[in-house]
C-alpha cells in the first residue's frame, strides 16, 4: 500500500473514533443548538476531517468533506461549498518579458508587470492589479456559481500552473495557465465531471473579464484618447471598436469574435479564443474622469458547454506593448490596434514611414536625430513636385498684376465672368493654376500619416531630446498657475516654434495669393493659432516634425527662388500668349460646363 493510502486509512480511522467520542459526550442538545448564532465564513476553521493527497510538485491539496461545511455555505454554493473557504495566495509565472501573478481566490490573473517598461514616474509598469480587475466564470448548478468567490487549489509544474476548483475529487474545473517565451499566456479551461452538475438544458457558461486601466503615461488626456475596446470578427477578420471619445459606450455583438482587446495608449491586454467566442458578446467602456484610472473596460462572453465528461476551452492572453512588428508577428491582425489611420494614410505609415523609421533606428541614433533624418528624406523625395509647384506659383506671381486689373474692372458685377477671364489669361500664358496643388496632394497624406504615427509610436515613449523628456508626450518648458481654455496649464516649446514657423510660411506665400485665396488670408493665419491650442498637449515628436518641415520648406523656397528667373518666365509667358496651345478635351468640357452654367444663371435672372 502506498504511503498516502496508509495515511488516508489511518486518518479515516482516527476521524471515526473522534466522531464517536464527540457524538457521545459533546454533541449539543437541541436547545443549545437553537441558542447558537450561525457561523460566518471567518468562523469556519480547518478540520481534521479532510481528504488529502500529496504531489511532489505542488502544495498539499485539501478537499473538505460535507461534514465540515457550514449549512449557510451549502445553501449559497451547493456542491461547490467545499471550495467556499480557503486562503488567498498568490502564484507567479514569469519570463524575461512579463511577470504574471495568479490568485488562488477566483483562480484569476491579478497582476501583469511588463519588465522592459516603466511608468512615467519610474514605477514598474503594471497593466492592472487585483483591485482593478475581475475574471469570473459563471454557470448554474441549481445555484448560480461565480468562480471569483471560490478558492482554487494550486499545482505548479515548470512553466505551467494548474488551478483547480473542486466540487469533489472527480468533479472540478481546472484553469491551466502556461507561459511562453514572449507576451503570450495560454489558458486551458478543463471541465471534468461537470455533466451531472450543470443542468442538461444549460449549453453555455458566461465568462466576465473586467479591467480598470491605470494611468501609466505623463498625459492622462492623451492616454484616455487611445484607451478603449477593440475586437475582431471571425467571418471577415475585420477589426472594429467601441467609441474612444464617449463618456460611456456599450455594444452587444451578435457575431462570432476571434479576440477582444483592452487597449491602452502603448500597451494592450487581449483575450483570444482558439475557436472563437460564441455570440452574443457584451462590451462596455466607461470613462473615469475623477479617478486614478483612465477607463473601466468590461467584456462578457458565452462559452459553449456540451455536457461531456471532459471538455476543454482553449484561450490565450496577450499582455504586451503596442509595437507594430511585435503585434504583426502573431498573424492575427493585432497590428490593427495601432491607430495608423484609414485608407491611404494607413498605407503611407505601413509601407513608407514605418520601414524608413525602423531602418534609421538600427543605427542607434537619438530619436530626435531620427526624426530629423526622416524629415530630410521625405522633403528630398517630394523636391521635384515642390519645385514644380514653386514654378507654377512664380508664373502666377508674374501674372498677378494683370489678373488684379481684370478683378478690379469686373468687381461686383459678375463673379463668374471674373473666373472665366482669369482662366483665359492662364490658358494663353500656358500656366496651370492647379500646378501648385500637386505637391499638396502628396504632402497631405504624409502630414496626416505623421499625425497618427508619432503619438502611437511606442519607440518614442520616454525618449528624450533637447528639452523634451518624453517625445511621445508634451514638452513643457513652463507650468502655468492656471488653466487657459483650449490651451492648457503649460507651455510646449516645440508647439510654439511650430506655430511661429507656420505663420511665417503663411506670410511668405500669401503675397502670391490671388482672387478668392487673397480674400481668405485671415483663415490662413487663424489655422496656426487654433493648432497652437490643440498641439500644446500633444506628442512633442509631432510638433517637432512639423517645425522641421516648415524650416526645410523655407530653405527649399530660398534655393528655388535663386534658381528661377522671373524675367525669363515673363518672356516665356509672352511667347505662349502669341502661340497659344490647342485646347485639350478637358478644357473644352470645362468651358462648355461654364457656358451652360452661365446660361442657366441668365435665365434665372
Q: What would the pLDDT profile of 442-453 be if each residue is shown by its tens digit? A: 778 888 888 889
Among 243, 244, 241, which residue's Cα sits nearest to residue 260? Answer: 241
Q: In terms of domains, do 317 and 364 share one?
A: no
Q: In terms of domains, do 129 and 227 share one?
A: yes
CA dist 76 → 80, 145, 166 (Å): 9, 9, 16
Residue 221's domain comprises 37-337
How many other CB atoms are found less than 10 A from the CB of residue 10? 10
Could you tell me which residues are beta bridge partners of residue 270? 261, 318
Q: In terms of domains, do 79 and 17 share one?
A: no
Q: In terms of domains, do 65 and 140 share one?
A: yes
Q: In terms of domains, do 53 and 158 share one?
A: yes
Task: Give the model confidence (pLDDT) of 214-248 as tens digits.
Answer: 999 988 888 998 999 999 999 889 999 999 988 99
- Residue 568: HSE in the Cβ half-sphere, 13 Å Cα cutoff: 6
> Do the domain assignments include residue 142?
yes
Q: In terms of domains, do 271 and 355 share one?
A: no
Rg of the chain over all Cα atoms, to the nearest angstrom: 35
Q: Give the DSSP letter of residue 29.
A: P
Among 195, 196, 84, 71, which residue's Cα sits nearest to residue 147? Answer: 84
Pairing of strands 184-192, 310-321: antiparallel
Question: Residue 177's domain is classified under what CATH number?
Answer: 2.70.98.90
Query: Worst-scoring range by mean pLDDT, 187-201, 302-316, 553-567, 575-589?
Result: 575-589
| Total domain count, the chain | 3
Instruction: Write down the pLDDT at residue 319.
Output: 95
Domain boundary among 322, 337, 352: 337
Tell me: pLDDT of 440 over 60. Answer: yes
Among 602, 165, 182, which residue's Cα sits nearest to residue 414? Answer: 602
Instruction: Write down the pLDDT at residue 601.
Output: 65
Q: Mean pLDDT over residues 111-121, rounded?
A: 92
> Do the domain assignments include residue 600?
no
Question: What's the CA gap between 56 and 148, in Å, rounded?
Answer: 28
Q: In terms of domains, do 400 and 316 share one?
A: no
Q: What ranges make up the beta strands (E) of 196-266? A: 204-214, 228-233, 239-241, 248-253, 257-263
* Cell numbers linked to 233: 470578427
Residue 172 CB partners (closer than 8 Å, separation 6+): 164, 165, 166, 192, 193
Report which secondary-structure segment, H or E, holds 181: none
As a whole number, the mean pLDDT across the chain is 80
Tell me: pLDDT of 162 over 70. Answer: yes
Task: Give the model confidence (pLDDT) of 12-32 as tens digits.
Answer: 555 555 555 544 444 444 343
Q: What ranges make up the beta strands (E) of 66-148? A: 90-94, 98-103, 109-118, 124-126, 133-140, 144-146
Task: Give the model confidence (pLDDT) of 549-579 as tens digits.
Answer: 989 888 887 787 777 666 666 666 665 555 6
Amino acid at each position: 500500500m502506498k504511503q498516502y493510502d496508509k495515511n488516508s486509512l489511518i486518518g479515516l480511522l482516527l476521524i471515526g473514533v473522534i466522531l464517536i467520542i464527540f457524538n457521545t459526550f459533546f454533541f449539543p442538545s437541541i436547545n443549545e443548538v437553537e441558542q447558537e448564532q450561525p457561523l460566518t465564513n471567518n468562523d469556519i476553521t480547518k478540520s481534521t476531517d479532510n481528504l488529502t493527497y500529496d504531489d511532489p510538485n505542488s502544495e498539499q491539496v485539501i478537499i473538505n468533506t460535507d461534514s465540515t461545511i457550514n449549512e449557510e455555505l451549502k445553501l449559497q454554493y451547493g456542491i461547490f461549498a467545499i471550495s467556499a473557504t480557503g486562503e488567498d495566495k498568490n502564484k507567479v509565472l514569469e519570463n524575461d518579458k512579463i511577470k504574471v501573478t495568479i490568485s488562488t481566490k477566483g483562480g484569476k490573473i491579478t497582476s501583469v508587470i511588463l519588465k522592459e517598461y516603466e511608468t512615467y514616474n519610474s514605477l514598474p509598469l503594471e497593466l492592472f492589479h487585483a483591485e482593478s480587475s475581475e475574471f469570473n466564470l459563471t454557470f448554474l448548478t441549481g445555484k448560480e456559481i461565480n468562480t471569483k468567490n471560490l478558492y482554487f487549489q494550486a499545482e505548479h509544474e515548470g512553466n505551467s500552473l494548474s488551478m483547480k476548483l473542486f466540487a469533489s475529487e472527480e468533479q472540478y474545473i481546472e484553469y491551466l495557465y502556461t507561459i511562453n517565451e514572449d507576451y503570450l499566456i495560454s489558458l486551458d479551461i478543463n471541465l471534468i465531471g461537470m455533466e451531472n452538475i450543470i443542468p442538461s438544458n444549460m449549453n453555455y457558461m458566461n465568462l466576465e473579464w473586467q479591467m480598470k486601466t491605470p494611468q501609466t503615461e505623463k498625459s492622462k488626456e492623451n492616454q484616455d484618447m487611445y484607451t478603449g475596446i477593440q475586437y475582431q470578427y471571425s467571418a471577415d477578420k475585420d477589426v472594429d471598436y467601441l467609441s474612444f471619445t464617449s463618456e460611456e459606450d456599450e455594444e452587444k455583438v451578435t457575431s462570432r469574435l476571434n479576440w477582444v482587446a483592452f487597449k491602452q495608449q502603448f500597451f494592450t491586454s487581449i483575450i483570444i479564443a482558439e475557436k472563437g467566442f460564441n455570440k452574443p458578446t457584451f462590451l462596455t467602456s466607461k470613462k473615469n474622469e475623477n479617478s486614478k484610472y483612465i477607463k473601466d473596460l468590461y467584456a462578457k462572453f458565452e462559452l459553449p458547454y456540451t455536457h461531456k465528461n471532459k471538455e476543454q476551452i482553449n484561450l490565450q492572453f496577450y499582455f504586451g506593448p503596442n509595437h507594430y512588428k511585435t503585434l504583426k508577428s502573431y498573424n492575427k491582425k493585432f497590428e490593427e490596434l495601432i491607430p495608423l489611420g484609414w485608407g491611404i494614410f494607413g498605407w503611407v505609415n505601413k509601407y513608407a514611414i514605418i520601414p524608413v523609421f525602423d531602418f534609421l533606428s538600427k543605427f542607434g541614433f537619438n530619436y530626435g536625430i531620427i526624426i530629423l533624418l526622416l524629415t530630410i528624406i521625405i522633403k528630398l523625395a517630394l523636391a521635384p513636385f515642390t519645385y514644380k509647384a514653386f514654378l507654377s506659383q512664380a508664373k502666377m506671381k508674374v501674372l498677378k498684376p494683370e489678373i488684379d486689373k481684370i478683378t478690379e474692372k469686373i468687381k461686383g458685377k459678375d463673379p463668374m465672368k471674373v473666373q472665366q477671364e482669369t482662366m483665359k489669361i492662364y490658358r494663353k500664358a500656358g500656366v496651370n493654376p492647379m500646378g501648385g496643388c500637386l505637391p499638396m496632394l502628396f504632402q497631405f497624406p504624409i502630414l496626416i500619416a505623421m499625425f497618427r504615427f508619432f503619438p502611437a509610436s511606442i519607440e518614442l515613449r520616454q525618449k528624450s531630446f533637447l528639452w523634451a523628456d518624453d517625445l511621445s508626450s508634451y514638452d513643457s518648458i513652463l507650468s502655468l498657475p492656471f488653466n487657459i481654455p483650449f490651451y492648457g496649464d503649460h507651455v510646449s516649446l516645440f508647439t510654439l516654434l511650430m506655430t511661429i514657423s507656420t505663420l511665417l510660411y503663411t506670410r511668405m506665400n500669401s503675397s502670391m495669393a490671388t482672387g478668392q485665396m487673397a480674400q481668405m488670408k485671415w483663415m490662413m493665419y487663424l489655422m496656426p493659432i487654433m493648432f497652437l491650442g490643440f498641439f500644446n498637449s500633444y506628442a512633442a515628436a509631432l510638433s517637432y516634425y512639423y517645425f522641421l518641415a516648415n524650416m526645410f520648406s523655407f530653405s527649399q523656397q530660398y534655393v528655388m527662388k535663386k534658381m528661377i528667373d522671373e524675367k525669363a518666365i515673363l518672356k516665356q509667358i509672352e511667347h505662349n500668349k502669341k502661340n497659344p496651345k490647342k485646347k485639350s478635351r478637358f478644357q473644352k468640357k470645362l468651358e462648355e460646363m461654364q457656358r451652360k452654367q452661365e446660361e442657366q444663371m441668365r435665365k434665372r435672372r
